[in-house]
Structure 1
Amino acid sequence: MPDLTLARPVAPPGIVFRVLGPLQVEGATGTVRIPPGRQEIILACLLMEAGRVVGTDRLLDLIWHEEPPDTARTQIQICVSRLRKSFVAAGVAASVVSRAPGYLLRTDDDAVDLHVFNRQVMASRVLVKEGRVAEAAETLRAAVALWRGPCLSGIPSEALRTRGVRLDEDRLTAVETYLELELSLGRSHELVGEISRLVHEHPLRERLRGQLMLALHRSGRQAEALDVYRAGRQLLADELGLEPGEELRQLEAAILAGDPALHAAGPAPHRPEAARPAPAVAPAPAYGEEKPHQLPADTADFVASEPVLRTVEAALLGGDGQRALGLVVIAGKPGIGKSAMATHVAHRLGGSRFPDGQLYCDLRGAGTEPVSARDALGRFLRALGIPGPVIPDGTDERAEMYRTLLASRRMLVVLDDAANERQISPLLPGSSSCAVVVTSRSRLTALPGAQRVELDVLDQAQALELLGRVIGVERVAREPEAAGALVRTVGGLPLALRIVAARLAARPHWTLASMVHRLANERHRLDELAHGEMTMRASLSLTHDGLNRADRRLLRLFSLAEGPTVPGWIAGALLDDHRPFPSDLVEPLVDVQMLDAVAVERTGEFRYRFHEVIRLFAREQLTLHDSPAVQLAATERMVGGWLAIAEQAHARIYGGDYTVLRGDGPRWQPPASYVESLLAEPMEWLDSEHPSLCLAVEQAAQAGLHELCWDLATTLVTLFEARGYFDHWERTHRRALEATRAADNRRGTAAVLSSLGTMHLSRQQPEEARRALGAALEIFDDLGDPHGLALCRRDLALLDRQIGEDDRALLLYEQAARDFERVDDVVGRATVLTQSAYIWMRRGHTAVAHDQLEEALTIFRSVGYAHGEAHALRRAGQVLLRRGEHVQAERTLTGVLEMVRRGRDIIGEGHLLRNLGEVHEASGRYEQARDAFAQALSVREQIMDHGGAAVVRLDLARVLSRCGETTAAGALLEQAAASFRSRGMRHELREAERLSEELATRRPSAS
């Protein structure tokens, strides 16, 4: 097999053509004068596309824009002729060749500075992956040094200037990348001046500003680092009316908190989008190499036994000769501080000893529905960069992929609140380079090789230290006897002590002695309980009874909210309070530590979390004080709030409320300004909130809110389909189906069945898809629901298309388009046009396909639905390829490649790279086809899509065989055929076997 990796290039001394600045040509006799105007434009365009044919029509557009004169083509011929003469006269090692439908510039790759830049950027990525960070930074600096000013400055062509601006952006990205690499090497002091100048030149670039903040902070100039943030925030507000992005805000918070991870030096994180050169030659990004940092915040006033901490750390790190996984189980009763201990240790070790990242999952083992190992593996695989559609269905397959990804990494995994060994075992990495911390109320004695640490209550000194940190050392010193009695009263239990201390902190006029007396009375009321539970219940009851009536009510209702963390607007929904800053309602509960504020949203509002013990207490109070009708009304408002935000997110993504059915369940609207800020990135909001949204579907089903239940479940398909969350898709829809059927809600039942049909289509389960869609179609037909009929017919048409029943598919597409028109669902109609265009293309009716795609593109662009536009443009590129218009096909597909890369759609990127390979192959440009297929293969391998990788190996083998590399082609075919056999891909296997036989007949003659 040939070596398809990139060698590190050395900048050649003999660059002839320079476009990274003013256009310049160097010949044997010196600088060659290129007359300004038409000749400059033609040469610049040929250089940008060096090695590829540039159509005459393209040159006409660049020079004359709209109405070229009758002699335009003749004038281009004259300009090209003069360029050829100039090259010959000056001894320029290049030629302009006539090649239908235009011209092609032939020259050495090393002769064009743009090509040298692109290759050096690619080489830097390879060096980063190999751990050669200093060389990567040096290579990028050499690449940036090729610039002599704004790209193509002075060229009188708007289109070329636009291309130049994009290349200037690539230069800045390369600069940011080498700065990031050098910061990781500990060169902060040397870089401050350079980054300061760059921030002055580009004040709105947040990545540069963050790098300056980091360099200043690491240089001991914390105040200046924070001043840089404040200046940037003010500038963004004044210029754009925006707040800084999430990364910059997190960096400011980390600097304020003195986060030790900011000082960690080591290899810089590999950012696939960084320093990306022109898309046609860009290497595939290293997906699956993300460095997740999922740890919750450390406890500021954490107190624990130092020997216990050292025991845990030593077990995780092991000795130099450790060959087994570092595994620690922290056990103990509720409120003892297990999670706080695990999080604290993880923060202490994470950045320096486990630089490849930290994974965290709350397994909810103490709850009624613990997180399954399968679901936890799905979360971890996504965090590690594996796209949802590629994640296997089975737990064993997921565990295998997980262990493979962690095999060569130094990563710490925190598994909080585990239920049993069965839940834990699949989540253990197989490599001794990783370590795992588990917390559980059980000892988990069946976990082999685990170091068990059982936490005990705080001793007197530790408890007094914690009390002093919360209420002040002076206050403890004033009443030493009362402080000791207070510690004994709560039994040294950290959570109980924090709750009592928070109550004292909120009441500075209370003495410690009075708190001891109050707590003693409460304990007597609860003397029938066991000691540990009595301590907690006494502490909680005392604090609960001290709250005012409104806060007690909110505490009870807030226990209805499910999810790892809860946003502040939930408080407004539960109380039906529409104030603009709903977190104000929750703060009194945070002050007395009945709720923890654990994160800040992009809106500036906080997110909250109950300790499980406190949630159970609040639920008890809810049952005692609030009727089922009150609880149902609060749940309805809360689920209605989730649905209100989710449907707005869908509308922002699709450009309107398209391709989804709506029910009539009541919405509860959070503050409009809050939602506006929250949905600046609607897909990211859906993704970040998907655990809570899925739990809201479950709550709606349990409460009998069937209309809200199916509506929210089907709305979430916006996320499930885009991210490949098939497990969540199926689970929420099965639950919604139970709810609608129990309520005899026929429209809701049909909507869920239709959506399940789409899911089965995405999972390549045609029989299940047809059953679900057929059942939904029958109900919608009976109800006379045109929108539901349109959605079903669209998907049934796709099923028919996939099995070659094109006539039946076209009929269904026609009916679906008509129904979408009836309900003004323009995006639904455009989707149908895009899908049916594929059939017309396959039949050779490319004009019909082209017209349909033009109409679809017009619709997608008018509403701003980017994913639909990318899909239609990809189909348009395939139509152009089928028509033999290779230059236009390449240009179209390259543009779509840029779009999917911006959207981090790795699966779409793999498809586009393969399509570009097909274009190059059809054009006879086998080397470029080979490069594109190699990149597509790299993408598939990185995301562990073995079936997709086998298909690309087949493509690559075909190209290599045409280049005479039969041995390498044969090796690829063997790999592909083995994969096809194991996956039952019969059609692809037959093609691989046919090509293998063809190669076998050629080998004897070659020898």
Structure 2
Amino acid sequence: MADKVLDAEELREAVPSPPPGGPAGLPADPPYFVGRRRELDALRADIDRPGLDVLRGQVASGGRVLLVAGRPGSGRTALAVRLAREMGERYPDGQFYVRLGADGADGEQAARTLLRAVGAEPHGNVRDAFARRRAILVLDDVTTPRQLLDLLPGGTGNLVVATSDGPLPGVADVRPCTLGGLDAPAALDMLAQAIGPVRVTNDPRAAETLAQECGGHPAALRLVAAWLAAQPRMSVTDATRLLREAEAPDPLGRAFRLVYGALAQPVARMLRFLALAPAGVADAQIASALAGCSVSAAQSTLEDLAGCGLMQADGSHYRVPGFLAPALRELLETLDRPGELRLARARMLERTVRLLQACHASLTGADPAEEIPRALRFPSRAAASAWLHGRLPLLLAAVRIAAADGELDTLARRLVAGLVRALAAEPDAGDAGDTTAERYQLHTVVLEVAERRGLHREKAAALINIGDLDAEGARPLDALDRYRAALVAAREGFDGDAEGRALEAIAGTYLALDDPQRAADWYGRALALRQTRGELPHQARLHSRLGSLHTYAARYGPALREWRAAAAAHRRLKDLPAQARALSEVARVQEYAGHPEDALRTCRDALYWAREAGEKRLEGAVLLRMADTLERLGDPAGARLQRAAARRLLPAGEVPDDGEV
């Protein structure tokens, strides 16, 4: 196959495009869609058929659910998508597509994908998000009834079209539309569309025989027809003979063997290696990394493979058809050495790491590293964001591939780090763009790798990160278990910093559980560790936290010691504003303890350091504290003077009038 030269702009455009099957719309139609009018009419009629609830005299509890059942390659996805397109006008709130199955999204990912697509809260549920909509959901390759039930929308205005290998027991009021082979007219129509009507008309009996040899199987017909179209000098009779000679137990296997056997060796090798791509989806960048060739050569090969039915094209992305994946994996095991496959995976993952680095640079506005080729860079922040969200399920799949290999742990950790950084830099990380669940998966992968490799430091970091996510998700007891395990791992790895983080995290969790006594105990342990390590900034922060806890518990003696220690630590750090704040807290505790004269003297010290730091707002706050203290000492005139001085420093409305005190 001749190399197709892509200019730099075309290469950049190939990077940000989202993969097919995203929630923005339906995937592209196959190049040839024939027949199936009887099935389409039956499905249309089923939409308007009264449900069992209505027949029982009850109010309908949900929208209509249709099931298209058939083996991979039977055209079930094409039929579901065609039906959704034809019914689009009746459902004005959109058409949504999610691919499930072994290589697609799991149930939670699919739900988050749909929720993001409609701008709903990512922690919500599909039922509520679609309750007041009129939309079509195409759920492709459903493997279990639970997958379907968890994604059913609420309300009666939605239509769900699911595809599966067979019936889904447990899903009520669903009659599967089972697909068999194409009838003879439809099969001949497909051949005519692919190879031209003249070749069919010139030898109609041979065309009928070829269709019979394919068993009416849509995928087999598509493969043979595309292969025959690329060879205009070959007769249909010769093609039928070659198909019969192909060694395989079924029509689809014979068609694949025929087409695959005609490929040039480099093209056949790339096709096999494309089965290694996450979820079988690749663009020119991923294909070039897997095959070890140029991006332009990979793009040309992908186009040719799509042209002969061996790949499914959608924009700049290509997917290995589900019915071919088992055959390609079998060929990989037979023809390619394990070392070659590992090297191909490593190249693919390295390319993905660089794409994530380029994505992070675009999202943060930083200059990309020099080692990132220009062709991998994103033209804009919006393009990087679209790429990240569009490929997120595939990026997670790449992480799982790296971790499962067992020999690519370094790449797995780099991939996780790059993806976490990119997600953290994502401008839409809040609301519907929340990626907590994805980050949880990523840190879990790091934990698995660390445990397998005996990497105690990485294990501690992963446990702390997972614990933080548990804490964010209001699961404090789970977080506590994670932090305690992280403490053990940090000590085994002699990682003092992680040990300190774990100790502080345990203390913070007890505080969230409304147990300040235990929180103070664990903060004390963290402080002792930081003092042993001579980490003054951490000591200053921990003294302040302990001072707050003791103040809250009315233990004024310990509170004074901690706040004074915090002030001393900030003085050594030359952090004048923090020193002034700590002294202000010392004054507060002194006043609570019944020593207003001492509090007034301490306030004067705090005022001095606030002025030295040039912190006007802090100076005003200290003046207000002095005014309150003077008021309690029976000096209202002095209090008014301090409030007047504070009023000159603070915004209007922040200082109460003297009559309000």
Relative to the length of structure 2, the TM-score reads 0.69
Q: Which residue of 1 aligns with 2:91?
A: 354
Partner of residue 437, structure 1: 161
Cα deviations by residue, 1:669-708 (Å, 9 ceiling, x for unpaired): 8853233348654444322211111112211222102222
- Aligned 1:462-611 pairs, distance under 5 A: 462-522=186-246, 525-526=247-248, 529=249, 534-563=250-279, 565-579=281-295, 582-599=298-315, 606-611=316-321
Matched, 1:709 2:412: yes
Matched, 1:384 2:118: yes
Contact 1:679–1:685 (Cα < 8 Å) also in 2 = no
> Using the alignment, how far apart are the partners of 2:410 and 2:359 within structure 1?
19
Report the secondary structure of 2:461's partner residue: helix
- SS state of the match for residue 429, structure 1? coil
1:743 and 2:453 aligned: yes
Moved more, 771-780 or 501-510: 771-780
Please report how far the alpha carbon of residue 298 of structure 1 lies from its aligned counterpart in structure 2 after TM superposition. Answer: 2.3
Does the Cα contact within 8 Å between 1:687 and 1:719 map onto a contact in 2?
no
Cα separation, 2, equivalents of 1:470 and 1:572? 29
1:649 to 337, 359, 374: 359
Cα gap change, 1:386 to 1:478, in 2 (>3 Å): same
Return the alpha-carbon distance in structure 2 between the equivalents of residues 593 and 921 of structure 1: 72
Matched, 1:410 2:134: yes
CA distance in 2, matches of 1:720, 1:614: 33
Q: Alignment partner for residue 395 of structure 2, among 690, 693, 696?
A: 693
**Residue 344, structure 1, aligned to residue 75, structure 2:** no
Residue 676 of structure 1 aligns to a residue whose secondary structure is coil
Shift of 1:719: 5.8
SS of alignment partner, residue 563 of structure 1: helix
Structure 2 runs not aligned, ≥5 long: 1-8, 553-562, 568-574, 582-616, 623-650, 657-661
CA distance in 2, matches of 1:244, 1:591: 19
Q: Report if the CA contact (8 A) 1:701-1:709 is conserved.
A: yes
- The answer for the alignment partner of 1:325 in structure 2 is 63
Q: Secondary structure at the match of 1:453?
A: strand
Question: Taking structure 1 as reference, are residues 299 and 318 closer, same or farther at Cα in structure 2, changes over 3 Å only?
Answer: farther
Q: Which residue of 2 aligns with 1:916?
A: none
Letter in 2 for 1:330: V
AA aligned to 1:710 is R
Give the drift of 1:786. Answer: 7.8
Q: Secondary structure at the match of 2:73?
A: coil
SS in 2 for 1:359: strand
Q: Aligned equivalents of 2:652 and 2:417: distance in 1?
A: 41
Superposed counterparts of 1:199-238, under 5 Å: none
1:333–1:626 distance in 2 versus 1, CA, 3 Å: same
Partner residue of 1:162?
Answer: none
Please report how far the alpha carbon of residue 567 of structure 1 lies from its aligned counterpart in structure 2 after TM superposition: 2.7
Letter in 2 for 1:385: G
**8 Å Cα contact 2:278/2:395 also seen in 1:** no
Residues 16 and 378 in structure 2, CA contact (< 8 A), matched pair in contact too: no
Change (3 A) 1:310 1:588: same
- Aligned-residue offset at 1:410: 0.8
SS at match of 2:139: strand
Change (3 A) 1:244 1:457: closer
In structure 2, C-alpha distance between the alignment counterparts of 1:420 and 1:381, rounded to whole Å: 21
Helix, strand or coil for the counterpart of 2:92? Answer: coil
Pairwise CA distance, 1:548: 0.5
C-alpha change, 1:921 and 1:585, in structure 2 (3 Å) is farther
SS at match of 1:597: strand
Tell me, in whole angstroms, the C-alpha distance in 2 between the residues paired with 1:559 and 1:921: 67
Inter-partner Cα distance in structure 2 for 1:684 and 1:813 = 44
Q: Compute the displacement of 1:299 (Å).
A: 2.7
CA deviations 1:81-100 (Å, max 9, x no partner) are xxxxxxxxxxxxxxxxxxxx
CA displacement at 1:810 relative to structure 2: 11
SS in 1 for 2:115: helix
Which whole-Å deviations, capped at 9, do the CAs of 1:147-171 have from their partners, x for residues lacking one? xxxxxxxxxxxxxxxxxxxxxxxxx
Question: 1:554-595: CA deviations, max 9, x gaps?
Answer: 111111112273332111221233546742342332221111
Q: Quick one: higher RCO (CA 8 Å, sep 6+), 1 or 2?
A: 2
Give 2:69's aligned amino acid: A
- Counterpart-to-counterpart distance in 1, 2:504 and 2:45: 59
CA distance in 1, matches of 2:363, 2:63: 44
1:330–1:440 Cα contact (<8 Å) kept: yes
Mapped to 2, the partners of 1:348 and 1:297 lie a distance apart of: 14
Contact kept in structure 1, 2:24 and 2:117, CA below 8 Å? no
Q: Which of residues 155, 172, 184 in structure 2 aligns to 1:448?
A: 172
Q: Out of 308-317 and 714-723, give the one that drifted further.
A: 714-723
Contact 1:559 1:619 in 2 (8 A): yes
Contact 1:572–1:585 (8 Å) recurs in 2: no
Deviation at 1:788, TM superposition (A): 5.5
Runs of 4+ aligned residues of structure 1 deviating over 6 Å after TM superposition are: 242-247, 319-322, 806-816, 842-847, 849-852, 919-924
1: CA distance, partners of 2:480 / 2:459: 16
In 1, are the aligned partners of 2:490 and 2:498 still within 8 Å (CA)?
yes
CA distance, structure 2, for counterparts of residue 245 and residue 728 of structure 1 = 22
Match for residue 630 of structure 2? none
Matching residue of 1:421: 145
Deviation at 1:714, TM superposition (A): 4.2
SS at 1:303's partner residue?
A: coil
Indicate yes or no: 2:429 matched with 1:730: no
Report how many residues are paired.
535
5 Å-filtered alignment, 1:33-182, equals none
Instruction: Output one character per residue of 1:701-730: Cα deviation in whole Å (capped at 9) or x when no partner.
Output: 221022222332344334666343333333
User: Which one-letter code corresponds to 2:414 in the other structure?
Assistant: D
**Distance between the aligned counterparts of 1:789 and 1:655, measured in 2?**
34
- Asked if the contact 2:285–2:295 (Cα under 8 Å) also holds between the matched residues in 1, the reply is no
> Which of 26, 30, 45 pairs up with 1:299?
30
CA contact (8 A) 2:362 2:378 kept: no
Deviation at 1:501, TM superposition (A): 1.0
Residue 81 of structure 2 aligns to a residue in which SS?
helix
Q: Distance in 2 between matches of 1:920 and 1:598?
A: 60
The code of the aligned residue for 2:343 comes to A
Partner Cα distance (1:702, 1:675) in 2: 28
What letter is aligned with 1:586?
L
- Alpha-carbon deviations, 1:935-988, whole Å to 9, x = none? xxxxxxxxxxxxxxxxxxxxxxxxxxxxxxxxxxxxxxxxxxxxxxxxxxxxxx
In 2: Cα distance, 1:334 partner to 1:293 partner: 24
Please state how far the C-alpha of 1:355 moved relative to its aligned partner: 0.6
* Post-superposition offset of 1:615: 1.2
Aligned equivalent of 1:867? none
Per-residue CA deviation, residues 296-319 of structure 1 (Å, 9 max, x unaligned), is 122342112323212212222458
Indicate the residue corresponding to 1:640 in structure 2: 350
2:340 aligned partner: 630
Q: Measure, in 1, the Cα distance between the counterparts of 2:579 and 2:177.
A: 67
Q: Distance in 2 between matches of 1:851 and 1:616?
A: 69
d(CA) in 2 for partners of 1:502, 1:545: 14
| Number of the residue aligned with 2:629 | none
Could you report, residue by residue, the CA deviation over 1:619-659 in whole angstroms, capped at 9, with x for unpaired residues?
111011012222122222222222232244345545779xx
Post-superposition shift, 1:921? 11
Aligned-pair Cα RMSD in Å: 4.6
Q: For each residue in 1:418-455, what CA deviation from the matched residue of structure 2 results, as whole angstroms up to 9, or x when unmatched?
A: 12323222322342211111111112354322232112
Q: Is the 8 A contact 1:710 1:737 kept in 2?
A: no
Shift of 1:362: 1.4
The 1:847–1:441 alpha-carbon spacing in structure 2 relative to 1, beyond 3 Å, is: same
> Which residue does the alignment assign to 1:316?
47
Corresponding letter in the other structure for 1:709? A
